Amino acid sequence: MRSEILSHLNDPRQLERLYRSNKTPFKREFSALYPELRGNALADFWHERLSYDSEDISWGSRSEFLFVILASLVAGILAKLPAIFPISEEFYYPRNIGFLVFPFLAAYFAWKNKISDSKIAFISFAVAVCLLYINFLPNNPQSDTLILACIHLPLLLWVILGVSFAGEELGNSTKRLDYLRFNGDLAVMSALLVIAGVLMTGITIGLFALIGFQIEEFYFEYIVAFGLPAVPILATYLTQTNPQLVNKVSPVIAKLFSPLVLVMLVIYLGAIIYSGKDPYNDREFLLLFNVLLIGVMALIFFSVAESSAQERSGWSVWVLLLLSVVTVVVNGIALSAISFRISEWGITPNRVAVLGGNVLILIHLLIVTVMLFKAATNKAVITEVGRSIVLYLPVYFAWTIVVVFLFPLLFGFK
């Protein structure tokens, strides 16, 4: 889309055709290009046209709306398979939870982006391989490699979704950054839908209880079971047809929470010293420490993705830089803790997986920290920070493949 806009910049008819064929990607790519095109009469016109905020909510085309309804129904039926067939819930849900969401979102973007048949075949093949592989792994609930495969498989499906999202522009770093931004918008919209759903659930159950009907079991068994898989599908549909719904909320969240998380992390690191807890001898604490690390890193990446589409003040970049430095410290503690545990108690699949993940995250954080420092000192633009983030993503993809497909073989399915 980006190259097409540039090549037809002085062709109003072709620009209109591009816009009508795929409005959301056109608006996103044009907004990213506009700072370079400012002063061009046609570019200025399109900027004003696309920047105009309409109060109307768009529900997209009829076929798109029907696709969302059908996908939500199919996802709900898949979620209820253990109730329909004699399938163990303990076997089904840990292995297949990702397949209730990601294939449907990938199908949506494949349809919206009109990607080539070869890419559709690749995505379908990759999803099918993952589905068959995870369900044919030996059923040993105590197997560490099985648990690791179940945890990492959604990350693999997330990458496959990214391929569908990028379409024919998979190698474009701007498109990859758009994918990170989409994930932030999706999280915000999904949270809003869940809050609305919780309120509706409480009101509905309460109203029926007033007239003597106890519908809790039926409501959670069918309405909630179908509603939860539909949330990310509906949220994706809303963010793509109405980008104005969250494109002002997400930057506010990123800008607000970055300094708050920075203060919290600094206080938390100081509190660890007085708490008596340490990740070196406390396995659960180390696990929570790594979850904290991943969450803060995701916030940094989300904030950079949002800032790349907007003007970012100097102090905000410094906040992200300080947050990144503190996160490097957190990562260093986690990495030294898992190294200590391996040296003391030997190698296990879990420890190797955590060690590998921490090493990759540390390298990535160091790269991002250097780029943020350059951006803060005006030696680089914020978009270069975003580029350093997305160019590293294939490394995580490779590690996920290793954990999902090779760990069970390397460790004998232990």
User: Please, are residues 394 and 356 in contact by the beta-carbon 8 Å criterion?
Assistant: no
Q: Could you say which DSSP state residue 209 is in?
A: H
Close Cβ partners of 384 (under 8 Å, ≥ 6 residues apart): 371, 374, 375
Q: What is the DSSP letter of 223?
A: I
Residue 55 backbone dihedrals phi, psi, to 5 degrees:
-85, -10
Mean residue pLDDT across the chain: 85
How many helices (DSSP H) and strands (DSSP E) are in the chain? 20, 0
Q: Taking a C-beta distance cutoff of 8 angstroms, is the pair 188, 253 a contact?
A: yes
**pTM of the model as a whole:** 0.81
Report the alpha-carbon distance of residue 172 to residue 296 in Å, rounded. 26
pLDDT of residue 73: 94
Q: What is the largest CA-CA distance in the chain?
A: 69
Q: Token pair for residue 115?
A: 């990607």
End-to-end CA distance of the chain: 47
CA 80: distance to chain centroid?
25
Q: With left for phi above 0 and alpha for psi between -120 and 50, is residue 380 left, alpha or beta?
A: beta
Question: pLDDT below 70 — which residues of the chain?
Answer: 1, 20-24, 51-60, 247-248, 307-313
The predicted pLDDT at position 405 comes to 94
Residue 282 burial (CB < 10 Å; 0-12/13-18/19+)? middle
**pLDDT for the residue numbered 171:** 76
How confident is the model at residue 308, as a pLDDT? 61
The predicted pLDDT at position 197 comes to 92
Tell me the two tokens of residue 71: 């996908």
**Quick one: pLDDT at residue 53?**
55
- On the 0-12 / 13-18 / 19+ scale of CB atoms within 10 A, 106 is buried
Going from the C-alpha of 3 to that of each of 15, 26, 101, 173, 373, the distances in angstroms are 12, 11, 31, 13, 31
